[in-house]
Structure 1
Amino acid sequence: MSSNIKPVILCGGSGTRLWPLSRESFPKQFVPLIGGQSLLGLTVGRVKKLGFPVCITNEEHRFFVQDLLTSSLNGATDAGANVLLEPAGRNTAAAMASAALMPGIASSDLLLFLPSDHFVPDVDAFISTMQSGVDAARSGYIVTFGVQPTFPSTAYGYIQQGSCIKDLSASPSASAAYAVERFVEKPQLDKAQEMLLSGNYLWNAGIFLCQASTLLDALSKHAPDILQSCQAAMQVAKVDGSFVRPNKEAFLACRSESIDYAVMEYFDKVAVIPFNGAWSDVGSWNAVANLSPADEAGNRINGQGLAVQSTNTYINAPHRPVVALGTSDLVIVDTPDAVLVASADKVEQVKEVVAQLKKDGASQAVMHRRVARPWGWYDSIDMGERFQVKRIAVKPGASLSLQMHHHRAEHWIVVKGTAKVTNGEDVFLLEENQSTYIPIGAKHRLENPGKTDLEMIEVQSGGYLGEDDIVRFEDTYGRS
């Protein structure tokens, strides 16, 4: 079945409910969470049968998305401008409106909007269900897809399914589309149980299929201010290779609103198609735990965890041994610089804990010890008064900016690969076990001319070692 669907993946969100593994600088959609793959990678792999996707993200995460698209789609480079960079988060209504206004999107195009951080193991069932909404979408409906609930969840919104909409499908085998009676916010447990028993409520998965023109018409009727802000921002958007940047001032003037509140509750042509496959929004540590098999005592282990005389305990320990002795109904998540120990019935409050840590100025609320960069990554492995030690990895062919520091000197020791070093007026190569010294104030650059990763140890010394002590003169990635 040729559906001509254009997937649009919404890659925003900070993912703080999965702290400390997911953090603002590296949220859950990018974290290798399932079988060594990220949720965004799995999402791209799932929708690529429909077509090359558009991704909506921000400046900070643009290279994560670009690299993942390239690797997931076997290096395809003919997709044009397919990464929309929002100047700031303005929720799903603005994101979807901006995507519908992107260069290369025609008014008749079918756009499938979906989150980047959901887990759907049955790809064929997912694709088939999405394609079954084509006829309704071409008939002017906004089609949403509801997941058949398997328990009375209080963590999901719900869709009340109405009567079947006749004459929408040209194919007898296509899934039936139903009218949407109403959308229901996350309920209390007794209400969730009542809705589950009624049999006509579905979990709201936040997935929508419609023509670009249908979405824009709906916004013009029910949220004209959002549409006008996005039109102003996209009319003068700048295209830089695969990146599309809306006008910042116009976009920031847009109010923040979800598509549910802005449009879906008011639009008169909303259809829902049930999805019967397995699905998870991976929205809490309990949801992550449920993706792992349990032992006979209900314990679920990822990595180097060991549960002794314990029941219903989840341990995520990829870096070192973590032992739970005599525990029950606990979630334990270990990272190099922060540890979460939570009662299983309190994991929904992790977001509040992260807000408190951020208020207290704890860097672990936002940043990992290991920080991804477009050229590779660095890991701050030790620090003290007037010194810091980092492991640095640079991808083949990549380079750091030509830069200098006012307050620190650096010693570089190559431990793997070959480094091309600019140190003042000198340019030279360093092999494994060789080193160099970068004085305070010297212009310098690190490059990897080889075909394998370059790894090195950097020892910084000086009176101030903050990341903002960088003066950039040239940068491949457009940073200032």
Structure 2
Amino acid sequence: MIFPIVLAGATEADIASSADMVPMHFEDAAGIQSRYQTVLSTVAAPEFHTPTVLSSDSFAAVARTQLEAAGLSGRLLLEPGATKTAAGVIAALHSLRASADSLVLILPADQDFDDPNQLQDALAQGVQAAQQGDIVMLGVQTDRACRSHGYIECAQRLTAETATPVSTFLDQRSPAFDGWREQPAAKLWNTGIYLARLDTLLAAYKKHAARILMPGKTAVARGHQVDDILTLDPENYRRARGSSFENAVLRHLDGLSVVELDAGWDELDAWQVEPEVVSDAVWEAWLSGSVSGEAGWCKTLPHRRRAPAERPATTMRESSDAATLASWYSDQLRDGASPAAASQSTTETWGHSETLDMGAQHIVKHLTVLPGQSLPLSVATLGTHWRVVEGSAMIASQERVQMVWRDQSLTSGGEIQQIDNIGIRPLHLIEVAPARSIRMAERRVLSGVA
């Protein structure tokens, strides 16, 4: 999962006028969400962990009230006084309960998204570069200068599939910044949104901003925690230099990549995301809808569900519901149980395939895709259902690329072209394929038709 850090701090001027005004990202109106709420809604999808919100203690009540009003959850990390983004980011990183290779998304609360898919599509392009150790920046093409976060020059032409290496990054303090502003080609501006591994960010701070790293870390360790609100220790936090993240860290780095954020993209979402916890009745009804193909070419299942009642394997063989089969076998594998004796096990160039069950309607397999490898898709993929047991998969269709994470599922409607493991760990999948389609495909191969 991706751990979002939302930067919703305040300037000295904001704090001075806090009795009458709030920072721009908190401004709302009747029936209209603030940009802060819009950003939080954008990262409320199942692929994101609960966000950490960095804000000023002067606006803690506003941040909490708007969070609850939108029906969202989040952890508040409160700065004592005006925001210092470099110090605030390192404090937020140290407050995360995440493994070193976890992906972290840093984004400002004043970012305006017309559609949540704008962000998710851009992140899908940048995940692989981030997993490999780059800090991926999200840039936007515009005719005006977005001075607050700097300018990005690409080392090569932008592509729509992957991140592009950055040859030059100029933050607003750079002497050459105004020169770039006047050039017609200077149209890719930094949005202040970054995707990177946790250990990559910590290493960058250690090398280039050590004097900010230690005060930020200590401010977290000695901070005051009440429920899901952590107030940073004022004495230690004031020792951190008041630099921006771009000036303190980014401008010193070589391993930068960029993905274009398409702010004009407003296509309807093809991935249906449901609430995290649902009742058994709603779950079963929803599964029936997903199998019948009502949601288009594929459908993301709820990230978490209530624990199902135990069922013996003999009854599972009789089930005609591919999603239920995949969920049950996934739970068995994760719990360390052996769902069935493998009738066939093969080692492939891309990983390992193990047949768990061969029924009259479905053939169930446990697939292990090695890091950097792709699962080959045959002519029999129509109607095939996959569920991620461990790891993350990048799914390429005819129209878009999307990430699928642990406990999420998808059903092929014929448009899926490729399933890649772009992570650093093996990808474990449960595949439930219609037995009739596979047998027909085998006959075509034997007869020389396919």
TM-score w.r.t. structure 1 length?
Answer: 0.49
Q: Which residue of 2 aligns with 1:471?
A: none
Q: Which residue of 2 aligns with 1:47?
A: 43
Indicate how the Cα distance of structure 1 residues 103 and 237 shifts in structure 2: closer, same or farther if over 3 A, else same.
farther
For 2:152, the aligned partner's letter is: Q
Runs (4 or more) in structure 1 with deviation over 6 Å come to 186-190
Alpha-carbon separation, structure 2, partners of 1:141 and 1:189: 23
How far off its partner does 1:201 sit?
Answer: 4.1
Match of 1:64 among 51, 62, 65: 62
How far off its partner does 1:158 sit?
Answer: 3.9
Alpha-carbon separation, structure 2, partners of 1:33 and 1:192: 38
Q: Which has the higher strand share?
A: 1
Q: Which residue of 1 aligns with 2:138?
A: 145
Alpha-carbon separation, structure 2, partners of 1:57 and 1:43: 14
Match of 2:168 among 151, 176, 181: 181
How far off its partner does 1:275 sit?
Answer: 1.4
Match of 2:4 among 1, 4, 7: 7
For 2:196, the aligned partner's letter is: C
Alpha-carbon separation, structure 2, partners of 1:116 and 1:10: 5
User: 1:376-427, CA deviations, whole angstroms, 9 ceiling, x for partnerless residues?
Assistant: xxxxxxxxxxxxxxxxxxxxxxxxxxxxxxxxxxxxxxxxxxxxxxxxxxxx
Alpha-carbon separation, structure 2, partners of 1:183 and 1:273: 16
For 1:160, the aligned partner's letter is: I
Q: Which residue of 1 aligns with 2:203?
A: 217
Alpha-carbon separation, structure 2, partners of 1:93 and 1:221: 14
Q: Find the residue that maps to 1:217 and give its secondary structure.
A: helix
Q: Does structure 2 retain, via aligned residues, the 8 Å contact 1:129–1:175? A: no
Is 2:98 aligned against 1:105?
A: yes
Which stretch of the first structure deviates more once superposed, 251-260 or 64-73? 64-73
Q: Does structure 2 retain, via aligned residues, the 8 Å contact 1:154–1:188? A: no
Indicate how the Cα distance of structure 1 residues 165 and 214 shifts in structure 2: closer, same or farther if over 3 A, else same.
farther
Q: Which residue of 2 aligns with 1:258?
A: 244
Indicate how the Cα distance of structure 1 residues 188 and 135 shifts in structure 2: closer, same or farther if over 3 A, else same.
closer
How far off its partner does 1:257 sit?
Answer: 0.6
Indicate how the Cα distance of structure 1 residues 34 and 40 shifts in structure 2: closer, same or farther if over 3 A, else same.
farther
For 1:6, the aligned partner's letter is: F
User: 1:35-79, CA deviations, whole angstroms, 9 ceiling, x for partnerless residues?
Assistant: 6221111111122124221101122211222222223235x5xx6
User: 1:72-125, CA deviations, whole angstroms, 9 ceiling, x for partnerless residues?
Assistant: 235x5xx6xx11011233521101100100052332221111111121213212
User: 1:226-268, CA deviations, whole angstroms, 9 ceiling, x for partnerless residues?
Assistant: 0011122122233210101222211111111111111111112
Q: Does structure 1 retain, via aligned residues, the 8 Å contact 2:147–2:172? A: no
User: 1:421-453, CA deviations, whole angstroms, 9 ceiling, x for partnerless residues?
Assistant: xxxxxxxxxxxxxxxxxxxxxxxxxxxxxxxxx
Q: Which residue of 2 aligns with 1:301?
A: none
For structure 2, the residue ranges without an aligned partner over 5 or more in a row are 266-450
Structure 2 matches for 1:25-424, cutoff 5 A?
A: 25-32=21-28, 36-49=32-45, 50-51=47-48, 52-73=50-71, 76=73, 82-149=75-142, 151-153=143-145, 155=147, 157-164=149-156, 174-185=161-172, 191=179, 194-195=182-183, 197-198=184-185, 201-278=187-264
Alpha-carbon separation, structure 2, partners of 1:183 and 1:34: 39
Q: Find the residue that maps to 2:105 and give its secondary structure.
A: strand
Q: Find the residue that maps to 1:133 and give its secondary structure.
A: helix
Q: Which residue of 1 aligns with 2:441?
A: none
Q: Does structure 1 retain, via aligned residues, the 8 Å contact 2:151–2:177? A: no
Q: Find the residue that maps to 2:194 and give its secondary structure.
A: strand
For 2:27, the aligned partner's letter is: V
How far off its partner does 1:181 sit?
Answer: 1.3
For 2:153, the aligned partner's letter is: Q
For 2:237, the aligned partner's letter is: F
Alpha-carbon separation, structure 2, partners of 1:212 and 1:57: 21
Alpha-carbon separation, structure 2, partners of 1:118 and 1:249: 31
For structure 1, the residue ranges without an aligned partner over 5 or more in a row are 167-171, 280-480
User: 1:147-181, CA deviations, whole angstroms, 9 ceiling, x for partnerless residues?
Assistant: 112x2437555423222499xxxxx9733322241
Alpha-carbon separation, structure 2, partners of 1:238 and 1:108: 27
Q: Find the residue that maps to 2:9 and give its secondary structure.
A: coil
Q: Does structure 2 retain, via aligned residues, the 8 Å contact 1:14–1:28? A: no
For 2:6, the aligned partner's letter is: I
Q: Does structure 1 retain, via aligned residues, the 8 Å contact 2:58–2:81? A: no
Indicate how the Cα distance of structure 1 residues 56 and 177 shifts in structure 2: closer, same or farther if over 3 A, else same.
same
Q: Find the residue that maps to 2:155 and give its secondary structure.
A: strand
Instruction: Indicate the RMSD between aligned Cα atoms, in angstroms.
Output: 3.3
User: 1:269-289, CA deviations, whole angstroms, 9 ceiling, x for partnerless residues?
Assistant: 11111112249xxxxxxxxxx
